[in-house]
Structure formats: structure tokens, C-alpha cells
Amino acid sequence: MRLAITGASGFIGTHLRARFPDHVVILRHDPVEVIRDKLQGVDVVVNLAGAPIIRRWTKAYKKVLEDSRIQTTRRLVAALKGLKGERHLISTSAVGIYPDGVACDEDCTTLSSDFLGELAQKWEHEALCAPIPTTILRLGVILGREGGALKLMLLPFKLGLGGPIGRGNMVMSWLAIDDLMEIYQFIIERGITGIVNAVSPNPVTNLEFTKALGRVLRRPTIFPVPPFVLWLLYGEAYKVLAGSKEVYPKVLLENGFSFKYPEVKGALEHILIQ
């Protein structure tokens, strides 16, 4: 099996390349004709392209966020439309598409109308224009030592300065990076298409996550972070950290997927102590 990956140098892309070391084609910001040539002989296309979300959203950076997802996906789909043969597209989205404060699985039809929600909806729309079987993987907070939100948290927590955001009652839908790699393999082998939530079956509150991380690192977690501090640091993007997304992986569970790290403390121990 041969994979082509956009966003191959990112956190998730790096892990995928390690998972399939001799079977990966890297897709860059190439013209459609070049992408089409690279896709010859490819069985699965994984679309991970997208600028980092967690930084201040100026008007200019919002355009970067949109273009890096929507324009890249549009070029990829255009290249796929000119190819013959069977392929499977696995495109990326995020649980930010769901509204805050509502428990959702893939059957949830109420979607968020804020910037992140609309961005995810546009991103998914572009991918679903592909002329081949397509999976939309809605990612929760992916936990791994080498990248993502956990990497940003480690230094303050190791210094004993970690704490919950406000009261810590917002819900976090998360997933260990190793389970995400297993999900890709599972989707490819089973040929699962449509919307798939890539999250643990056990979301936690921000306070529960904070306490679990503190215990694993053996550090105190007594300094709450006022939400206004996140607003000062990140502006509108603070919603990524302070939002409440309670999301469940109904499709994966119904198809028999087994999570290696379903509980957050076990996942953090595996990631940080192994």
C-alpha cells in the first residue's frame, strides 16, 4: 500500500511517515499537474495540510488558515479528478466543527457557527467534492510529546506552574497519537468512509486533564489560568483552548475499533514515561 500525504512535515504527518516509512509520497504546494503525477500508483491520500491554529488570529492570519486548508484541498481534489484507478482520500477536520457545551457524535447535525466551525465546514466541503471514496477525520486534541497542545503545556507544568483554565469545567475531547495511527490503519483496512470522530471514548474536563498531567509529571497544579490571560495572549484564538467540546467516536466503536489508551492518565503515562 502506498500513501501520499499533504502536511507530511507536521506533528501527525511525521508519525504517519514513520508508520509507513517505505511507502509515502510527500505532496507539497505544487501545481495540480505535478500533484497528479505524484499520485500515480498511490492507494491512499491523506490530507493533513493546514497552518497552526494556536496563535493570534489577525485578519491576515485568518486568511492563511483558510487558504492553507481550503486552497490546498481544492488543488488536491482537482488532481484526483484527472486520475484513473481506485484510491481512498482521508481528509482532516476538527471537533471545532461541533458547538460548545453539546454532547455530539457523528450524527450531530447542529454545527458551530464561529470562525473555527465555519472553517471546518468549508474544509470538509472541499474534500467531499473528491471523485473517490472519502473519509473526513474530525480530530480532537491529539496528545503526543513531539507536538500539538501537550508540547506547549509541558514546560509550565514541569516548572510547577500548570493549572486549570478558570474553573476547569470545559470539556476536552482528546486522543493519544498512537491511537490516531491505529485509526488511520483501521480506516484504510476496513474502507470506512464518511465522517469519523478521532477522539477517545472518554472526554475529560480541563480540571481532570490538568490533575492527570500533574500526577504523571509529579508536579503541583495549583495555579489556575484566568481565561482573560488566554485572550490577551491569543485574542479570538483563545477559544481553541477555552472551548468545551464533548465529542464521542460512535463510528469507530460501532465498527469494532479498540482504543489502546482510552483513559487520559494511561495515555499521558505512555507518552511521557515510556
- Chain segment 1-37, per-residue pLDDT in tens: 899 999 999 999 999 999 998 889 999 988 999 999 9
pLDDT in tens, 100-135: 999 999 999 999 999 999 999 999 999 999 999 999
Containing domain of residue 15, as a range? 3-144+173-201+246-260
Residue 214 domain flag = no
Residue 183 domain flag = yes
Average pLDDT of span 249-258: 98
pLDDT computed for residue 138 by the predictor: 98
Residue 84 domain flag = yes
Number of domains in the chain: 1
Residue 35 domain flag = yes
Residue 207 domain flag = no
Residue 47 domain flag = yes
pLDDT in tens, 188-245: 999 999 999 999 999 999 999 999 999 999 999 888 888 888 887 888 888 888 899 9
* Confidence (pTM): 0.95
Domain containing 183 — which CATH number? Answer: 3.40.50.720
Residue 166 domain flag = no
Helix axes 148-158 and 206-217, enclosed angle (nearest 10): 60
CA-CA distance, 128 to 179, in Å (whole number)? 25
Average pLDDT of span 173-183: 98
- Look at residue 274 and tell me whether its pLDDT is greater than 80: no
Residue 33 domain flag = yes
